[in-house]
Structure 1
Amino acid sequence: METQRRRSEFGLRWQLLVLLLLAGLSLLFGSTTHLTLPVFLHVRLPRMLGSLLAGSALAVAGMILQTVLANPLASPNILGIQSGAGLMTVLCAALFPTAFGLRIPASFLGAFLASMLVLFLARKVRASRSTIVLAGLAVSQIFSAGIDLILTLAPDSLTGYTDFRIGSLAGTTLNRLMVPGLCIVAGLLVALLCARQLELLSLGQRQAQCAGLDVNRWMPGFLALASLLAGAVISFTGMIGFVGLIVPHMVRRLCPGPLMKQLVSCLVLGPAFLLLADLLGRTLAAPYEIPAGILLTLAGGPYFLWLLLKGKGHGA
């Protein structure tokens, strides 16, 4: 037991070291080698903080979704939660172009409606894991078509549409991070405080009910929490994907054990993963920039296919 505890502690220390290293590199390097104080304060620092917030929120949201739905393929972008949040964000921007404060509630509403639709499919239809994922992809395409329709009718409603659709940390400012940052921090604290209930759900709905957990209350609650985290991220990064799919799987491999420790690791490895993608995007083709969302899709797409084929092999 002592040896296992030391390995776990070493693993967390190693993760923190990697996170600190990537955060430092993110501040020092970018598409330009000339680092000035304005560039540091208004470009590099907001992007680094945005990566910390977005990476941790998406990783924890992915862990929650995979646990609640008992589906290793679940993540905000795969199940349509991200597209639902994006649709409501664009609709809000079209109807209320100057009301930036409404975009986070709108994003949360869209994400929550999408997550509840997934929960309905999982409960009522009793579909297999692959069927739920395919249904989520179909819902995602419908929401994406809605986004395209709104922007076709109101092309000036959303500035930086390409970055929003792909997902990017370019243009992140400290002012834009204030409100979503508070929502993300609050959501992450709730997730940590409710780790015991989430771990009971990981045993299965029947076992959780036998242990005294009100599944009918906690499952929608956790989906709402995941929707809040994903929606807050989308409000300042756009529809960035695959962090919530890949990082929880990395965490389970590196940190087997109680769910609380895995959630803590998500708080570390999620930001590290997004920092790496953003740093590579800024430096690989400098002075041009590759949006982090493109690199994440290039990495996450094949990984998702591998998980899907692996699940088919196990009769999912």
Structure 2
Amino acid sequence: MGRNKSSDVTKRFFLLTLAVIGATLLSLCLGAASLSIGELFSILQGKGEATASSILLYVRIPRTVGCLLAGAALAVSGAMIQTVLANPLAAPNIIGVNSGAGLGVAICCALFPTAVNIVPAAAFLGAFAGVLLVLFIAEKAGASRITLVLAGMAISGMFSAGIDAVLTIVPDSLIGYSDFRIGGMANVSMERVVSAAGLIIICLVLSFVLGNEMDVLALGSDTAQSLGLRVRRVRVLLLALAAALAGAAVSFAGLLGFVGLVVPHMVRRMVGSTSRRLIAGCALGGAAVLTLCDVGARVLFAPYELPVGIVLSLAGGPFFLWLLFQRKEAHP
């Protein structure tokens, strides 16, 4: 039985990997100007036409890499937040992490408009401030699961008001703000992606390394404390990693919602709740889901293009409501 289960999990990881590869190829090939697989490989070998080469190198590749990194970062961030807070309704966009990162980006762009490389750090600080505020309020108010969600919504609203205040005072701080608020990949450049990529990769690796600590913490604070885990320190560390992942993604992708909520639930059904499997599965699943949604946003209403955040909200909103009803049935 154990071997069969392990074999099933391996097959599902293989399917997730294939989904990432397929989503990547679709993202590179499809858009306002479609490229065939043959043209794609010709361009990569330096033999393609100039126009097609420019589209691939300066538009499609940065956009695809951005989708893969942002999807992986947001999904893993959501899985960690849900595990640490023991709340399946928690996600970066729901508990104020995304809006905190957005406020950090807005302030950074207002004060240092040319300092692209420090935007991910500003996003992390804003996201981390958001998650610490939510945790503090929830602990003071009793730390129930619904309290966490309500506190997150309150903090998110406050941070969103802060973003609007910054934009009122410095209107040019976030050019294309509507795309930033909705979440979109249309204007992503390789420079902006690369500045956040290092932080995302490092945090993904650290999250995987700390998988055992996440498993112990998932047993409950008292049990984890009795097993010798420094609960408060580990919780803050894991939340800092989750905030860094979400903040780095927000710094170039905008306030994308629902990736961090939907993907962890999907992946748990596929590979289980063991933290290292969950983190690896969420990295693959998040990358595939966001990239496929971005492809859909490009081609569904061609020649018009929707911001990918709209597609995610259309899909994620009903999922969130379904999750609420499921919890009501389980805990009437």
Query: TM-score scaled to structure 1, two decimals?
Result: 0.96
Offset of 1:308 from its aligned partner?
Answer: 2.1
Q: Paired residue for 2:239?
A: 223
Task: Tell me if the contact between 1:32 and 1:286 (Cα under 8 Å) persists in the aligned partners.
Answer: no
Separation of aligned partners in 1, 2:117 and 2:271: 38
Q: Paired residue for 1:299?
A: 315
Offset of 1:99 from its aligned partner?
Answer: 2.1
Whichever residue aligns with residue 33 of structure 1, its letter is: S
Q: Paired residue for 1:96?
A: 112
TM alignment of 1:52-63, pairs within 5 A: 52-63=68-79
Offset of 1:109 from its aligned partner?
Answer: 0.9
Offset of 1:113 from its aligned partner?
Answer: 0.7
Q: Paired residue for 2:164?
A: 148
Offset of 1:170 from its aligned partner?
Answer: 1.0
Runs of 4+ in 1 over 6 A off after TM superposition: none
Whichever residue aligns with residue 32 of structure 1, its letter is: A
Whichever residue aligns with residue 154 of structure 2, its letter is: A
Task: Tell me if the contact between 1:84 and 1:113 (Cα under 8 Å) persists in the aligned partners.
Answer: yes
Higher alpha-carbon deviation: 254-263 or 277-286: 254-263
In the alignment, structure 1 residue 85 sits paired with structure 2 residue 85:
no
Separation of aligned partners in 2, 1:77 and 1:67: 16
Whichever residue aligns with residue 91 of structure 2, its letter is: S
Offset of 1:32 from its aligned partner?
Answer: 2.4
Q: Paired residue for 2:196?
A: 180
Quote the RMSD (CA, aligned, Å).
Answer: 1.4
Whichever residue aligns with residue 6 of structure 1, its letter is: S
- 1:304–1:188 distance in 2 versus 1, CA, 3 Å: same
Separation of aligned partners in 1, 2:128 and 2:100: 8
Higher alpha-carbon deviation: 253-262 or 287-296: 253-262
CA displacement, residues 105-144 of structure 1 (integer Å, 9 cap, x when unaligned): 2111110011001211332322321222022112111111
- 1:157–1:37 distance in 2 versus 1, CA, 3 Å: same
Whichever residue aligns with residue 74 of structure 1, its letter is: A
TM alignment of 1:248-267, pairs within 5 A: 248-267=264-283
Task: Tell me if the contact between 2:81 and 2:242 (Cα under 8 Å) persists in the aligned partners.
Answer: yes
Offset of 1:257 from its aligned partner?
Answer: 4.9
Task: Tell me if the contact between 2:134 and 2:155 (Cα under 8 Å) persists in the aligned partners.
Answer: no
Q: Paired residue for 1:211?
A: 227
Offset of 1:88 from its aligned partner?
Answer: 1.5
The residue matched to 1:36 in structure 2 has which SS?
Answer: helix
Task: Tell me if the contact between 1:164 and 1:239 (Cα under 8 Å) persists in the aligned partners.
Answer: yes
Q: Paired residue for 2:4?
A: 3
In the alignment, structure 1 residue 109 sits paired with structure 2 residue 125:
yes
Task: Tell me if the contact between 1:69 and 1:122 (Cα under 8 Å) persists in the aligned partners.
Answer: no
CA displacement, residues 229-252 of structure 1 (integer Å, 9 cap, x when unaligned): 011011111111110000000011
Percent identity among equivalent residues? Answer: 47
Whichever residue aligns with residue 108 of structure 1, its letter is: F
Separation of aligned partners in 1, 2:21 and 2:32: 20
Please list every run of 5 or more consecutive structure 2 residues that lacks an aligned counterpart in the other structure: 36-50
Whichever residue aligns with residue 223 of structure 1, its letter is: L
In the alignment, structure 1 residue 310 sits paired with structure 2 residue 326:
yes
Task: Tell me if the contact between 1:108 and 1:232 (Cα under 8 Å) persists in the aligned partners.
Answer: yes
TM alignment of 1:157-196, pairs within 5 A: 157-196=173-212
The residue matched to 1:240 in structure 2 has which SS?
Answer: coil
CA displacement, residues 143-165 of structure 1 (integer Å, 9 cap, x when unaligned): 11111121122211111111111
Whichever residue aligns with residue 263 of structure 1, its letter is: I
TM alignment of 1:37-52, pairs within 5 A: 37-52=53-68
Q: Paired residue for 1:29?
A: 30
Q: Aligned residues, how many? A: 316
Offset of 1:33 from its aligned partner?
Answer: 2.7
Separation of aligned partners in 1, 2:173 and 2:147: 35
